[in-house]
Structure 1
């Protein structure tokens, strides 16, 4: 079993570098504001000003600020993309190398986690980390400069500033819950879409289109309501925070105006407020609140990221049964025999125990038993797609391990119960780019199927085999399994839900494969298939 651990944060060294550059870009404005205040105060008192020198300094600082801001955004963008791609690679790699059964959700939920939900982390990585660092530095620098010139202006900033993070925290609790509900709804909607698409042909045949459309309408409406709840919280909190910052700036502006007019004589450290200090304070006051406002705006991004982080933690917390091997291409091993000894597989609700088996080249086995008894699990164990909890699978008298599993699977053909195809041509779905063998097509009774299609073997198929009947799809699946002449064929319910003629064709093709020296292991409820197998193994329901 493998259990993944939750990382502490989404942060990275590149993201922290971007945040530092963002802070430096903000601090440059304080130097620019000093130049503006110097020029305006000099003009007010009639002093001479080196206009060209000040202008060059101002625009030089502006260029430097723009360059730092650009570098900060590039670093943050690279960090965000790298982090998202790393998480996406982890999800895809884990899901493709471990048992496919998951309690986290269906294929739609996994796809939503790897796509929309991870993309929701991007605004958090781009905005929240630099906003938090700016809050830790810029307001304190401005507060220190303000206190140097006027203790009363500093008191105003101290009184108004903390109200923003306090209110932000209060709103953040509601935003986090709303974001979590929205993320759950996104996963549920994706699961619903995946299920309905998989059954689209059947739903069309039974005329269930209106009901499916109504179901989608209800699900999308529920998602819309939850999305609007998140937006309402965001707009409400932004309005209140703008009010606090506007009041703080207005109070400083009123005090500076009355102080410069001489109506107020208190608030400084003994000396009257100078025009330079008053203008400088007015220019800095909005930037005291700006990092707090940025953090408040990014707080909703953090709520969404926290919801995604919880989903990732839930996904990682699952114990997964590992697939043997690395999933890499390898030369097929020469098959000499396969043995099962005391094999048991633990499932969440029970333990499956399988009989000891000795499978030699040229054998044919039928695995029978009621649904849910573990027939498909046994095939997965034999293929190395699922590692047994206890016991041993011996390939050529050596344990089946990560070392030889890829070579073993290269010698195995797999015919699953439910036909699944790629959105490519029929030719590609059988050979995956390799040339097709006419003998194999004839053996699997696919030659007449190809002849009946409009574009022959170049006909494009959908995921469920659009354009093929159920029996034709099953024949194509058999041709795929046999295309590379496997030493062993594992077939899961190859004749299930087929008419008598098609089932007879499939059985004849399987027996022809065995007669040619192949080894067949199939699960089935079909007595016609069991009668023609050399060995029949019955599995019983276990408590």
Structure 2
């Protein structure tokens, strides 16, 4: 990914929120079908293998029934050793089928979650600089623990659903020729289970949706409190922030317990009906073999082998539906995640996209960056602002000045391809900034945003971004050596996304070191000295001028008179827009 875009997912942002998104069962089912479509072939094969394994229990039951029935009512049609060998063979075959089915289901789950996570992060990384819809904490929660909940739905619930549709019908066909009473018991007890599961499932989905929404709220609140921990200590508000977090945690715990309560309730209902069904079969078979009941077996007495077969088959008749009930809360969680994922994608699609793909590219040679006829929207729904034409030559230092809202930050972002212009053209030499050239143009730029941003890695990696080069020289040029010396682990210290552990001025000097190390042809800086004391601001300005001395061009948006005075030219935005030397 381009160095300019490497840190965009970590940009601090509090605007926008993901509210509880309830899809109707039909819509949620359709959305899950769309999500699982790429792995549907794997899921079908996993479900069929699992169903075949379950059906083979009938063969094992028949072997046992024939052997034991022959002992009770000779002559035996199958000896015990023969039955034992056959039983072990079928058992090994079933174990192999189960392993193959589970492996395919797990692969499908891993593929689905990884693909959706990559797609979501790619779309979020390509949001333009004006995007306000999805905060980083919400994105992290959705891409992390929430999307992972699709895995159990794919690997457990989907194969269980396939088994519950196939196995009971096969077993019903096997028991009907032996006893119509047992078949009727299965027909009555079996359908009651899905009916009650559906009723419980509606409550489970609502509980899961509320839990998913509050989980995102918790992550956002926690991220905000961590980011503001230094300010909270200065204000003496740690206790109040702790109490607020405690309230949020208690609400999440209560909603999680509601989800678990519904999950346990569904399992209890299923166990009740399946236990009643098995008990009725056992009572009927027992009284029939004793001669107390002479009907229900098509006018002929029930043979001991047939009775044993029915008794062994009865529990497994309900087993697929028991497995389905155990995984029913996975379905409810997946429905909730599908609704939130759909809402997130809709929100991302409404935001603007950067130009290019955001991938790493080979930088173009140094050239004049020029723009003409630009019109840019500073925010969603705002009217386009017409900006004066301008250019920056290699080695030149240019300031962009003007009142707040004049479009300084918007122009800087647009020149990097992070905002699509409503009108006008941007060129790097003779190359027009467009979809196919944006990544290569960005690769030659260094980006110093107003809010420092780092990747979650040791500081050495956060500065070099994996590129070779002399790190010590970059630190020296940015006057950042003493910052590294003061850190507890030096260059191995992880700072976090927004530079926790260093001051704002120190974080900007570390970003300057990153620009020095990258040896960018053009540095785009947005208010690099804002909110800094004069000494720190002077150190940052010295680092910028060292970049220029190394051959880089500077284009800096700033209100700071010291920064503006150090530039060769000033482009003024606003009503008095002009380009003055």
TM-score by length of 2: 0.86
Q: Is the 8 A contact 1:430 1:436 kept in 2?
A: no
Q: 1:46 offset after TM fit, Å?
A: 3.0
The alignment's C-alpha RMSD in Å is 2.6
- Matches of 1:301 and 1:458, distance apart in 2: 41
Q: 1:491, CA displacement in angstroms?
A: 0.7
For the pair 1:416 / 2:449, whether they are aligned, the reply is yes
Aligned residues: 537
The 3-state SS of whatever aligns with 1:434 is coil
Superposed counterparts of 1:67-466, under 5 Å: 67-99=96-128, 105-318=134-347, 319=349, 320-326=351-357, 327-345=359-377, 347-361=379-393, 362-424=395-457, 426-432=459-465, 433-436=467-470, 441-450=475-484, 461-466=495-500
Q: Per-residue CA shift, 1:54-83, capped at 9, x if unaligned?
A: 111111111111111111111111111111
Q: Is residue 330–residue 407 contact of structure 1 (8 Å, CA) maintained in 2?
A: yes
Residue 495 (structure 1) aligned to one of 508, 524, 529: 529
In 1, Cα distance between equivalents of 2:328 and 2:340: 19
Following superposition, the deviation at residue 442 of structure 1 comes to 4.9
* Mean CA deviation greater in 457-466 or 132-141: 457-466
Structure 2 counterpart of 1:66: 95
How far the C-alpha of 1:449 sits from its partner, in A, is: 4.2
Distance in 2, Cα, partners of 1:52 & 1:208: 77
Deviation at 1:151, TM superposition (A): 1.4
SS at match of 2:384: strand
**What is the CA–CA distance in structure 2 between the aligned matches of 1:166 and 1:454, rounded to whole Å?**
61
CA distance in 1, matches of 2:278, 2:70: 24
Taking a change above 3 Å as real, the CA distance of residues 247 and 442 of structure 1, as seen in their structure-2 partners, is closer
Distance 2:457 2:371 in 1: 37
1:161 aligned counterpart, secondary structure = helix
Q: 1:316 to 1:275 in 2, by over 3 A?
A: same
TM-aligned CA deviation for residue 161 of structure 1: 0.9
Matched-pair contact (CA < 8 Å) for 1:342–1:356: yes
Compute the displacement of 1:24 (Å): 0.7
2: CA distance between counterparts of 1:243 and 1:453? 62
Is the 2:130–2:378 Cα contact (8 Å) retained in structure 1? no
Would the aligned equivalents of 1:530 and 1:536 in 2 still touch at CA under 8 Å?
Answer: no
Does the 8 Å CA contact 2:189/2:277 hold for their aligned counterparts? Answer: yes
Is this contact kept in 2: 1:495–1:503, CA < 8 A?
yes
Moved more, 22-31 or 352-361: 352-361
Alpha-carbon distance in structure 2 between the residues aligned to 1:55 and 1:305: 43
State the distance in 2 between where 1:263 and 1:454 align. Answer: 85
> What SS does structure 2 have at the residue aligned with 1:378?
helix
Alpha-carbon distance, 1:105 to partner: 3.2
Unaligned runs of 5+ in 1: none
Asked if structure 1 preserves the Cα contact closer than 8 Å seen for 2:384 and 2:422, the reply is: no
What residue number does 1:474 align with?
508
Do the aligned partners of residues 163 and 80 (structure 1) sit closer, same or farther apart at CA in structure 2, a change above 3 Å counting?
same
The 5 Å alignment of 1:496-511 reads: 496-511=530-545
State the distance in 2 between where 1:540 and 1:419 align.
30
CA distance in 1, matches of 2:299, 2:223: 73
558, 571, 577: which one pairs with 1:536? 571
Question: C-alpha displacement at 1:14, in angstroms?
Answer: 1.6
Moved more, 18-27 or 364-373: 364-373
- The range that moved more, 163-172 or 46-55, is 46-55
The 1:408/1:113 distance shift into structure 2, 3 A limit, reads: same
How far apart in 1 are the matches of 2:491 and 2:317? 69
| 8 A contact 2:392–2:555 mirrored in 1 | no
Q: Which runs of 5+ in 2 are unaligned?
A: 1-29, 577-581
CA deviations over 1:66-104 (Å, ceiling 9, x no partner) = 111111111111111111111122122222233366565
**Structure 2 CA distance for aligned equivalents of residues 454 and 262 of structure 1:** 85
| Post-superposition offset of 1:261 | 1.9
